[in-house]
Structure formats: structure tokens, C-alpha cells
Amino acid sequence: MDSFSTPDHWYRVLIALVVIYLIASIFRFLWHPLGHIPGPLFSRFSTIPLFLQSLSGARAGWIVAQHEKYGPVIRIAPDKVAVSSASGIKAIYNNKNSKSHAYDSFRFQEVKMCIALLDVKQAHTRRKALLPAFSRQNLMEMEFVMRHHLEKFLDWLEKFDDTNTPVDTFKWFRYLTFDVVTDIAFGQQIGMLSSNDTHFIEQVEYRNKRNSLNGPFPFILPVMRLLRMETAKKWDRADEEIASYAVRAREGWAKAGEANRHRVDILSRMEQGSKTNPETALSDKEIIATMMEILNAGSDTTANTAMFAAYELARNPAIQEELHQELVTAFPDPNTPLDFAVLEKLPILDGVCREALRIHAPIPSYLERVISEDGIQIEGYDVPKGTVIGMQAYTNHRDSVVYPQPEEFIPRRWFEATEEMKTSFLPFSAGPRACIGLNLANMQLRIHLGHIFHRYRVTLAEDTNEASMKHVEFFMVRPISQKCNLYFKKYKS
């Protein structure tokens, strides 16, 4: 028998590995360059606590709890530092620090999505190709497309009026945003509102989970594949399905011809940009990767914010009434379209959107960067070059000094927002890698919520409560129950 396959040999290899791990852990504990930074004892020599928290979807809350115990700068793994102080925003999210390898999973085959480009300069070129498509002016020209899908949604909602049947807004707001995003991005009607088919949404869910776990812990997927786990197959299949949808959508877009598509859809901008400006030209694979990225980043985030806003309004009827009054005062005729130019100036609607983004930030996560060059100093701590460091919106949005009663949904707090409130508000991150789709998200939120609460009164269904809406986080946040049932009742005019 080959000596490598004897049980005795494997036994020795195992012991050697354990010894190496223990020695490395002792080294990390005693002499690591981050040894002066406080944090939970076990996290100082092992990644296991962070890994377990990530696996259970409870990482964001766990990091908040560690900050409360150990202060604004903490070590959450041997080589990772988390910061909660606002002074960290500029020091971390700037032109110098690159992203970490936690983003490596965001790719189409070998081509990285924008979010996964580590280097700021490299990302700048990709962002330059995309940003014109997301400009306010370009999106204003697409307002009619958003309204078209919303009208379909509102017509569909009428079926539930007076029937005492709840609507699962976790599902249906996703249908709505997928229909809007695929139309304004690729001129394609994915038709989720009409098909009520959750299959594609499930694929996006699998993909989010895979990216959020296999990015920071890249051993997960290979181990799952080795163990032939069904989830690994689902994750891989989801990736292929979303890619093939993007390829088909692009073919459909090309076949439709210029006369039959929206002049300003995002794909048109990308294709046009590629032809006219060699500096920002995207390859075929980069275009597909970007389309996949738009599907992932552009739908769930907005849908979840609208869902959490509707949930908060359902459990705060006085605020809901205030919003409704604001809307009917601005648009007294129920048959006139609700223009975004007016909606965006309504203070309660604005406060509602901000509070939903603050308490239920769709990407509440620890967003990793790598400290460049000479290192930095934050809150009196030296953080050396090469350290993985990050902040999370979830922590900053719960700072009770900046936002008194941070867990309370108080839209009016934004009427006289302090500089500290504005600085600590990070739903779209900050600096040169902040969200590209911010204008689109803000516009959709105001158009969707404005139209819905102009026409409907919303109340909680019996199974929707704090426990069912508890956050779980896999890069993006969702309610633990994966549903949010609400009753919609139309105002009688």
C-alpha cells in the first residue's frame, strides 16, 4: 500500500496541521501588527467567530455589539479591523485604498463586475462608461417607463381591495423593481408582475448568498463542491442562469432595432459609449458582466427599501396619514400623473425614504478596503499598510448621538438634518466607489412610494411583526421570514 494512503499518515498530517494552526494563532495573538487594537479575544487569533456570524446572516448586528463593548476601532478577525467613527469615512473610502479580495466572487467568468474591481483607477474607467446612463437627466427621460410598470402594479393591487387578502410585499415589490430595471436598463420586459414566477428571483437570491459568503471565505464553494452539496449546484446554476438571461436580453435588445427601443436605455448608452469613446469602451463580456451586476444590485436593494418603508408606515399609522395628506395636497386630482419633479420635493416622502434607508440599509455590511502606502491613524490607533479595514452603514445609522432614538422611524428628523446626520448617512457608501445607481434608486423609491400611498392605506397582516421582520444579512439585508404581508385598502375619493 502507498504510504500516503495509510490512516497513520493522514493522522500525522492532521496533527501537523493543527500544530501549525496553533503556532500561527499564538503568533497572531502575541506579535501581530494589529495587536494593539482591541476586540473579542477569540477574534484576535481566529477568523472563526466572523465566519460563523457571516454564515448565520447576523454579522452586522454582531459587529455593532463588539463596537459597544470595545470602542470605535476594533479587530473583528486577526487581519480585519472595523471602524464606527465618522472620522473613518474619508480615511477609508478614498482614492488611495483599494478594495479587498472579498469582492472576487462578483464576476462573469473571468471578467470582474465593476463592484469587484479592486483598484480605484481601474474602476474609474468602468464607472466613466456607466455613469452617463445613470445621470439624473437620462433617468428623467425614463420616468414614463417607471410609471408604466407602476400603473400595472397599482391596477393589480385593486384586486386585493376589500378582499381581506394580504399582499406579500417582499415578493411583489421585487417583481415591480425587476420589471422596471430590466426595461430601463435593457429595453426588455421581463414580465414578472404578469407571470408571478419566483424562479428568477430565487436565482438572484442564490447568487447574493454565494457572493457574500464565498467572497470573504473563498474556501466555502470548493468545500461544498467536494462534498457534492446540493446548495453548491444551485449556486453554480444560478450564476449560469443569470448570465444566460443577460446574453438573451442583449440579443433581444439588438434584434429590436433602434426604432423599437427606448432611446436612453442603459444598454444603449453602454453600447453607444463603446463605439464612440475607445477610452471607456467595454468588451462584450464586460457588458454582460455589467448587465448581471445591474440585475443583482439594482432590484433587490430598491425593492427591500420600499418594502421596509411600507412596513414602517403600516406600523406607524399617524406618519402614514401625514404622508398621504402631503401627497393629496400636492396632487389633488387622483387622475393626474405624479411627477417625480414634484415628488422629490415633498419633505415627508423624503424623510420616509431616508428613514427606511437608515434603519433598514439594504447593504448594511462591513465594506472592506485595504490600507495603502504608509498606513493611517484613526481615533488614536495606528493602522498599518495592508490592513483590511471597513465600516458598516448598520453601525453608523444606529449612532444615538447622531440619530437620537435610532431604532425609531422618525421621517421628520430629516427636516433639519445636522451635518453629522448627513455625514453618517451611508446607505450608498461614500467616496469614489459609492453606488452608481443612487439616482435611479432614489427616483424609483419616491415614484413607487408616492403613487402607492397616494392611493392606498396600508396595514400590517397578522403574521407581520418585529420578529418576522428581523434582519438577516448576506451582503444585502432581508427579513428573516422572507415575507412581508400587508393589507392594501384603496382610499375612496
Q: How far is the CB of 484 from ligand HEM (least distance, A)?
A: 16
Round to whole Å and give the CA distance between 192 and 177. Answer: 9
> Nearer Cβ to ligand HEM, position 92 or 458?
92
CA distances from 239 to 41, 352, 402 (A): 38, 35, 40
- Grid coordinates standing for 231? 446548495
298 binding ligand HEM? (CB under 6 A) = yes
Residue ranges in 436-485 assigned as alpha helix (H): 438-455
Question: Applying CB under 6 A, does 362 fall inside the site for ligand HEM?
Answer: yes
Site for ligand HEM in 56-115 (CB under 6 A): 114-115
52 phi/psi in degrees, rounded to 5: -65, -40
44, 28 contact by CB (below 8 A): yes
Stretch in the footprint of ligand HEM (CB under 6 A) among 269-277, 295-303, 377-385, 479-487:
295-303
Binding pattern for the stretch 248-287 against ligand HEM, x by CB under 6 A and - elsewhere: ----------------------------------------
Instruction: Provide the strand spans (E) within 319-470.
Output: 366-370, 376-378, 381-383, 388-392, 456-460
Name the burial class of residue 384, with classes exposed (0-12), middle (13-18) and buried (19+) by CB atoms within 10 angstroms of its CB: exposed
**Distance of alpha carbon 271 from alpha carbon 291, whole angstroms:** 12
Selected from 190, 287, 297, 310, the binder of ligand HEM by CB under 6 A is 297
Residue 302 binds ligand HEM, judged by CB under 6 A: yes
CA angle 130-295-431, nearest 5°? 45
Phi, psi of 105 (to 5 degrees): -75, -15
Task: Out of 440, 449, 460, 469, point to the residue binding ligand HEM (CB under 6 A).
Answer: 440
Stretch that binds ligand HEM, among 19-27, 75-83, 146-154, 422-430 (CB under 6 A): 422-430
- Per CB under 6 A, does 340 bind ligand HEM? no
- Give the Cα separation of 230 and 225 in Å (integer): 9
Residue nearest to ligand HEM (CB): 437
Beta carbon of residue 362, minimum distance to ligand HEM (angstroms, whole number): 4
Q: Quick one: how many helices (H) and strands (E) in the chain?
A: 20, 14
What's the closest the beta carbon of residue 395 comes to ligand HEM, in angstroms? 14
Shorter beta-carbon distance to ligand HEM: residue 28 or 448: 448
* Closer Cβ to ligand HEM, 142 or 486, answer by number: 142
Q: How far is the CB of 429 from ligand HEM (least distance, A)?
A: 4
Binding window for ligand HEM (CB under 6 A); candidates: 83-91, 198-206, 329-337, 362-370: 362-370
Residue closer to ligand HEM (CB basis): 362 or 450: 362
Choice between 232 and 361, CB closer to ligand HEM: 361
Give me the amino acid identity at 157.
L
Please indicate if the annotation marks 484 as binding a ligand: no
β-bridge partners, 167 = 486
Retrieve residue 446's grid coordinates: 419616491
Q: Does 204 bind ligand HEM (CB under 6 A)?
A: no
Dist CA 388 CA 99 (whole Å): 9
Interface segment toward ligand HEM; rule CB under 6 A; list 4-12, 83-91, 297-305, 409-417: 297-305
Nearest CB to ligand HEM, comparing residues 120 and 220: 120
Contact predicate 81/73, CB 8 Å: yes
The three cell numbers of residue 215 are: 467572497
**Number of residues this chain uses to bind ligand HEM (CB under 6 A):** 24
The whole-angstrom separation of Cα 367 and Cα 70 is 20
Nearest to ligand HEM of 303, 461 (CB atom): 303
Q: Residue 480 CA to chain centroid, in angstroms?
A: 16
Q: Which residues bind ligand HEM (CB under 6 A)?
A: 114-115, 123, 127, 181, 293-294, 297-298, 301-302, 305, 362-363, 367, 427-429, 433, 435-437, 440-441
In the annotated binding site for heme, the residues are: 435
